[in-house]
């Protein structure tokens, strides 16, 4: 599958784009900096911080300094406070009762790394950059001014305390993992643990999606689904997928070149679109094929395509979400003597082209797993049956931002900086050249579609990347995937569908995760001559279905350079979003 129109446009190389259309995370929540205690929003960070200090007696900057919070600690703190507020609770008592440096601080739970609200400007702010600027200003003031030397004892003590707190912030780095639980569950827990009995149960029910909140959430999911399926009702997106020969040939070969699997089989095609895979299954020898698509418009044309190719006797097209199906229009099974047998409408083969950008965008895999559990007979085949996600380090060319540095002899740095800021908030979908990769690829996640559960879609995986030449700068990490039609089911001809930059480009292209700052890297053999170069970039990659926006994806990257002497550089964390239009 491809994505919504906005991300399809973003999938083109940046050099070919006329405009940047990053509207895929539209939200009813508005824009600006939101108060930590309510819904009030402000145009600037300073206005929001001043509001919270004046109206609620809470200074975020002062609290960070007191507790020595780095960027990751601040992200956790902000999300903790938002979850408390969502549960109808005042977060201040829990904060005031926590001693600086306490290992029991309530915001240290790694689940608070996941954003509690969409596009939270407080999470995207560079708090450590502020710390460095304040420390430099304080140092300059202390070293270059006689007046500073003659400062009164209270002022000097305050300055020293502030410098010490800033030093602690820059040194304190904590490990993070993106946990599977969502913010609603955390809000419910907070309400149950700290609220009164009646208040807690009410707040927890609201936070967990009960009552009116659940209705509103369901309505929002339905609107997103309608938009999602409408995006597949136009012919342009289907032409793009059908013209992708790597994609279409892989499915065709799996369905038509494995007669022991397909001959006489009953097949279910989830997300059938124009009916191409359903017709390939019929041509490959299937006795009966049911194609399902959530778009009524495209399902109508799939039926016409089936009839035009003389396959109406084998292929039936149904317009429905697979989760809403109560029965499959399959012929009854027969025994060796031709007698009809009673059977629960199960199929022998489940096929679906469900993959999105970075493999998991659009969350269609859950529908495939639902169909597997509901309609596939025990021991039946899932096509494809394996999916892998890869990551590699990349140089400056992978992001395409360099295009704006020299446009027909003119510098357009303002555009470049704007796109860079966006790329630190939302993953960039674009074609990456193989020569822009500077490390070997590492497989960070493997899915077995025949056995995995829906919850397995959310994962955290470690990585460690090294370069073969250098020194050279790593500017981003690049993600791609492959899917396998393995010999487990495709015994005559196994097939691999790869979206690697080293192969023919597909409509999925690649997904680029821009780093906050470039990391200089070199092979271990070269490191002694270049002590500033890291010999590895290591960390964790987390991907999870968004709890805030249906069919959207949250990606969290935690990384740090590792040096030849065994030391580790500053750890960074970036949260990227991938969302569909409502």
CB-count exposure of residue 152 (10 Å: 0-12, 13-18, 19+) = exposed
b/e per residue 294-314 (b: at least 16 CB within 10 A): bbeebbebbbebbeeeebeeb
Here the tokens at position 550 are: 């249906």
Catalytic position from the list 353, 540, 571, 581: 353
Q: List the one residue out of 321, 307, 328, 364 whose CA is nearest residue 551.
A: 364
Angle at 348 between CA 345 and CA 349, to 5 degrees: 115
Taking the CA atoms of 25, 28, 31 and 33 in sequence, report the sign of the dihedral they define: negative
Q: Coil, strand or helix: which one is 517? A: strand
Q: Does the active-site annotation cover 362?
A: yes
Q: List the one residue out of 367, 371, 337, 343 whose CA is nearest residue 355.
A: 367
Q: Does the active-site annotation cover 353?
A: yes
Distance from C-alpha of 358 to C-alpha of 374, rounded to nearest angstrom: 27
Map 184-233 to HEC letters: HHHHHHHHHHHCCHHHHHHHHHHHCCCHHHHHHHHHHHHHHHHHHHHHCC
Catalytic position from the list 128, 362, 540, 581: 362
**Cα 326 to chain center, whole Å?**
32
| Region of 280 on the Ramachandran plot (φ > 0 left; ψ -120 to 50 alpha; else beta) | alpha
Backbone angles phi, psi at 45, to 5 degrees: -65, -45
Interacting residues of 378 by C-beta distance below 8 A, sequence separation 6+: none
As annotated, the active-site residues are 353, 362
């Amino acid at each position: 599958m491809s994505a919504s129109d906005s991300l399809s446009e973003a999938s083109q190389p940046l050099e070919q784009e006329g405009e940047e259309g990053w509207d895929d995370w539209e939200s009813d929540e508005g824009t600006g900096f939101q108060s930590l205690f309510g819904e009030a929003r402000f145009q600037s960070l300073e206005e929001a911080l001043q509001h919270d200090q004046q109206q609620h007696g809470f200074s975020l900057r002062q609290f960070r300094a007191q507790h020595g919070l780095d960027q990751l600690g601040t992200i956790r703190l902000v999300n903790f406070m938002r979850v408390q507020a969502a549960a109808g609770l005042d977060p201040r008592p829990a904060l005031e009762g926590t001693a600086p440096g306490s290992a029991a601080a309530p915001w240290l739970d790694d689940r608070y790394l996941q954003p509690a609200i969409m596009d939270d400007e407080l999470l995207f702010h560079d708090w450590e950059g502020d710390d460095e600027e304040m420390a430099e200003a304080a140092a300059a003031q202390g070293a270059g001014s006689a007046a500073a030397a003659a400062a009164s004892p209270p002022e000097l003590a305050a300055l020293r305390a502030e410098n010490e707190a800033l030093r602690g912030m820059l040194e304190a780095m904590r490990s993070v993992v993106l946990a599977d639980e969502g913010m609603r569950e955390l809000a419910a827990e907070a309400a149950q643990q700290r609220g009164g009995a009646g208040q807690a149960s009410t707040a927890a029910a609201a936070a967990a999606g009960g009552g009116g909140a659940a209705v509103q959430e369901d309505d929002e999911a339905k609107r997103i689904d309608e938009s999602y399926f409408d995006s597949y009702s136009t012919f342009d997106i289907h032409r793009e997928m059908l013209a992708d020969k790597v994609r279409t040939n892989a499915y065709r070969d799996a369905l038509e070149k494995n007669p022991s699997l397909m001959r006489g089989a009953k097949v279910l095609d989830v997300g059938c679109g124009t009916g191409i895979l359903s017709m390939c299954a019929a041509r490959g020898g299937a006795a009966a094929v049911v194609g399902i698509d959530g778009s009524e418009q495209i399902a109508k044309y799939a039926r016409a395509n089936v009839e035009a190719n003389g396959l109406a006797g084998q292929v039936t097209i149904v317009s429905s979400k697979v989760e809403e199906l109560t029965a499959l229009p399959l012929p009854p099974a027969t025994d060796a003597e031709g007698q009809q047998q009673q059977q629960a409408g199960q199929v022998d083969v489940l096929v679906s082209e469900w993959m999105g950008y970075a493999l998991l965008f659009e969350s269609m895999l859950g529908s495939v797993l639902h169909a597997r559990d509901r309609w596939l007979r025990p021991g039946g085949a899932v096509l494809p049956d394996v999916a892998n996600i890869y990551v590699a380090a990349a140089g400056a060319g992978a992001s395409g931002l360099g295009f704006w540095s020299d446009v027909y002899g003119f510098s357009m740095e303002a555009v470049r900086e704007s796109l860079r800021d966006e790329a630190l908030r939302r993953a960039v979908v674009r074609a990456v050249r193989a020569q822009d990769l500077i490390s070997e690829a590492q497989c960070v996640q493997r899915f077995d579609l025949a056995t995995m559960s829906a919850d397995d879609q959310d994962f955290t995986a470690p990585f460690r990347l090294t370069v073969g030449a250098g020194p050279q700068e790593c500017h981003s990490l690049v993600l791609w995937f492959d899917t396998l039609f393995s010999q487990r089911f495709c015994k005559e001809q196994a097939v691999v569908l790869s979206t690697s930059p080293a192969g023919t480009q597909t409509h999925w292209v690649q997904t680029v995760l821009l780093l906050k700052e470039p990391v200089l890297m070199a092979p271990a053999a070269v490191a002694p001559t270049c002590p500033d170069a890291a010999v590895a970039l290591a960390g964790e990659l987390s991907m999870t279905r968004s709890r805030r926006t249906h069919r959207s994806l949250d990606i969290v990257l935690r990384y740090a350079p590792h040096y030849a002497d065994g030391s580790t550089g500053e750890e960074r964390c970036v949260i990227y979003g991938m969302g569909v239009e409502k």
